[in-house]
Structure 1
Amino acid sequence: MVRKREPRPVPGRPEVGRSKLGRPKLSRPYVRQPVAEPISLERAVEEGLLIARSALTMEVKNRIIVSALRDDHRFEAAETASWVVLELIKLSAEQAEYAERMSELVNTGTDRRRTISKEHDYGPRDYRMLTRRGLAYASLSTQLMRLVDDPDYVASVVEDARGKAWSELGNAIGSRLDCGPMQHPDADYTLERDTRLRALVAIDLARLWRSAGANAAR
């Protein structure tokens, strides 16, 4: 008995098969997904500065609100500007620490052939990603430290934070006029706010650097 040859599939045309019930079943050809354009180091740092600016404004805004409600403290632009400078220094130091950590991973986790040691979960292709991420952290740290000596930038953060604080206070007062006296913020909330805010910044920046490094490694 001569076995009937199966026809070869035509490229670009759906293949016809048979299901378990004997019905014709079409299988679509593989379609390659488009590769995202790699994000440049300059753009990564620029977006990192935007994230840091947003977090910085939120931090100063919260300090203005807590100082006004809990401490009955009057707003002063000079004092608030000093808060902005201190927060910029902290953010810059944090990015410098992240850059140093990336450098340690590259130096201790790779050999001359750029193979990753078994102590880490990174693969051989991650060498370039780690290096690029370290450069991004270091560049962002440098830019943040430069902003410390930029009075116009500091003043703009103060003004943005003040406007957001007064808007939030006005909305809170308006919503509570018919609901009894306003409660003062909890002291624990004030202590834990910095931790939550910095965790949020770290998550956003890490996601940004992962995107930059992963696309560049392709």
Structure 2
Amino acid sequence: MSVGTYKPPPEEPIAPISRVVDEGVLITASSVRMAIKNKLIVGALRDDRKFDAESLGEAARQEFLAAAEENASTAERLDRLGHHAYSVGDADLADPFIDEDDFDEEHRRRPQVHRALADALRAEADNPDRIREVVEHARDDAWEEIGRELRSRLRNTGYVRDNDPKYEKLRAKRISDFKKDVLADLQIAGD
């Protein structure tokens, strides 16, 4: 029985640094947005805070700057390690599809990628339109998450009619329990 002739997958060129940096910015922006969304939810439910675009914007800015600093530190560490940071180990060479030259090139340019990403993230932090956009999307995400959780709980526990005297009496406790449950879910999701 013939199963055909093996053809290796086509070689893909190493992505340009600009593309890697753009993707890194998108990933970081998503992470910042999630952090701000969680800050919004916890602030509203646990701390009874009102929406404050200015303080959330500063928090988003600090998140971008922290990610920039992390990338700058990584670039410095890789520079200090020199060629030891880029050596191809035996485990890597066990994969027949790894081209050692491409592998070395990707690893040699890592400090440059991290420095460029750090610069791009600092630019994001200093862009008021970008910060405003992240905060607005985080607010929308927070509303969606709270609404989804509320809809789910109303569906699962059943709706109590307005004419039930116990309903109003126990309302504050139900709201408090709901807040605690959402905060616990957020803490679990954050771990």
Q: TM tier, shorter chain? A: 0.7 to 0.9
State TM-score, norm by structure 2: 0.72
The number of aligned residues is: 163
Find out whether 1:138 has 2:134 as its counterpart. no
2:97 corresponds in structure 1 to: none
Amino acid at match of 2:108: T
Amino acid at match of 1:100: E
Measure the CA separation in 1 of the matches of 2:3 and 2:140: 59
Pairing of 1:88-167 with structure 2 (within 5 A): 88-107=64-83, 109=84, 116=87, 125=101, 126-167=103-144
Amino acid at match of 2:110: R
Measure the CA separation in 1 of the matches of 2:24 and 2:12: 19
State TM-score, norm by structure 1: 0.64
Distance 1:122 1:101, change over 3 A: farther
Show structure 2 runs of 5+ residues with no match.
94-99, 158-173
Please report how far the alpha carbon of residue 63 of structure 1 lies from its aligned counterpart in structure 2 after TM superposition: 0.6
Measure the CA separation in 2 of the matches of 1:117 and 1:47: 25
SS, match of residue 72 in structure 1 = coil
Amino acid at match of 1:146: A
1:212 corresponds in structure 2 to: none
Please report how far the alpha carbon of residue 146 of structure 1 lies from its aligned counterpart in structure 2 after TM superposition: 1.4
2:57 corresponds in structure 1 to: 81
Amino acid at match of 1:174: R
List per-residue Cα deviations over 1:132-173 (Å, max 9, x = no partner): 122111100011011222111111111110111112112222
Measure the CA separation in 1 of the matches of 2:3 and 2:105: 38
Please report how far the alpha carbon of residue 31 of structure 1 lies from its aligned counterpart in structure 2 after TM superposition: 2.6
Amino acid at match of 2:65: I
Q: State the superposition RMSD in angstroms.
A: 3.0
1:207 corresponds in structure 2 to: none
Find out whether 1:70 has 2:46 as its counterpart. yes
Residues 96, 141 of structure 1: 8 Å contact kept: yes
Measure the CA separation in 2 of the matches of 1:36 and 1:116: 21
Find out whether 1:49 has 2:45 as its counterpart. no
Amino acid at match of 1:31: K
Measure the CA separation in 2 of the matches of 1:122 and 1:100: 24
1:189 corresponds in structure 2 to: 187
2:96 corresponds in structure 1 to: none
The structure where helix makes up a greater share of residues is 2
Question: Aligned residues: percent identity?
Answer: 29
Residues 103, 131 of structure 1: 8 Å contact kept: no
Deviates more, 1:65-74 or 1:181-190: 181-190
Please report how far the alpha carbon of residue 39 of structure 1 lies from its aligned counterpart in structure 2 after TM superposition: 1.0
